[in-house]
A = this chain, B = another copy of it.
């Protein structure tokens, strides 16, 4: 059996209250006693039981994070930063991978609530709006506006879409494709598409739009999607892919067909992911670190009962590299 404050108390010859006090640095304590207690703790190798503390305090210092797929570079990087800031503020992270599975996402939310997490960051959105509103826990949403009661953090999708499209047009593309993958079922990423439509409309450039369906993460399907696009529209000379992974697929397929990039075809991606072969892709970079930081911050604010802005939209940046 592990050693508890009771053991320490007996050892030192005081009450558990006192031990608890030095543990939390609360109340008035003589330095002598403090030292003695700390000494005993070391000797007995005492470790506080966070479960008991959490139960008593009604605060677990745990944040739940729900993402669609932790192996997706965007979410991997986001998670890294979320963990960083959570840790910095004394919070642990419970990681939930929904795989865009509605049932699993719902189960996880109940699990998190049952586990008494202090708040949830949602990066996966497969449920109904009411379901989210029923969570009644400090909550921050990523890239999705659910209601005007749930704060969200996002980057400027409309701006990003406009920047990307404008670049392709400026580079004299005559027929541009907009490609979006299964991650894009959320509302806000749709603004990239809106911006695209507005730009091609305004400049009356020829265009095509292709979207994969939303069920799950079959990255393999990207391949078919891109192949199909090229088969049906061999005359495309510009592609705006709404994720870097998709853009990479476009680059690969072009290579296979002997199309040179950026000569015959210009490609721009989205996200600005690192560590994975997208380093030479022209892309719209999302400020992933800032997004993670602010997601945590907004959550902390809520947990502290402070006012939180509904909307936090961070700037994107065009990274012009080798594919345009």
Residue ranges of A at the interface with B (Cβ–Cβ < 8 Å):
47-52, 54-55, 60, 62, 65, 69-73, 76-77, 79-80, 83-84, 87, 92-97, 104, 110-111, 113-116, 219, 245, 248, 252, 273-280
Contacts and interface: CB of A to CB of B under 8 A. Distances in A.
A76 B71 contact: yes
A165 to B, nearest CB: 23
Contacts of A273: 276
Lowest 3 A-B CB distances belong to which pairs?
Answer: A277-B277, A276-B276, A76-B76
28 contacts: A47-B110, A47-B114, A50-B114, A51-B54, A51-B55, A51-B60, A51-B116, A70-B70, A70-B76, A70-B80, A70-B83, A71-B79, A71-B275, A73-B275, A73-B276, A76-B76, A79-B95, A83-B96, A84-B97, A93-B94, A93-B96, A95-B95, A219-B275, A245-B275, A248-B279, A252-B279, A273-B276, A276-B278
Contact of A95 (B49, B93, B115): B93
Contacts of A69: 80
Contacts of A276: 73, 245, 248, 273, 275-278
Contact of A52 (B55, B65, B92, B104): B55
A49 B55 CA distance: 9
A238 B115 CA distance: 52
A298 to B, nearest CB: 20
Contacts of A73: 71, 73, 76, 275-276
A72 B70 CA distance: 11
Nearest to A90: B111
A305 to B, nearest CB: 17
Nearest to A95: B95
A47 B83 contact: no
Given A70-B80, A87-B104, A92-B115, 17 more contacts: A49-B116, A50-B114, A50-B116, A51-B60, A65-B95, A70-B79, A71-B274, A76-B76, A83-B95, A87-B97, A92-B94, A92-B111, A93-B96, A245-B275, A248-B277, A252-B279, A252-B280
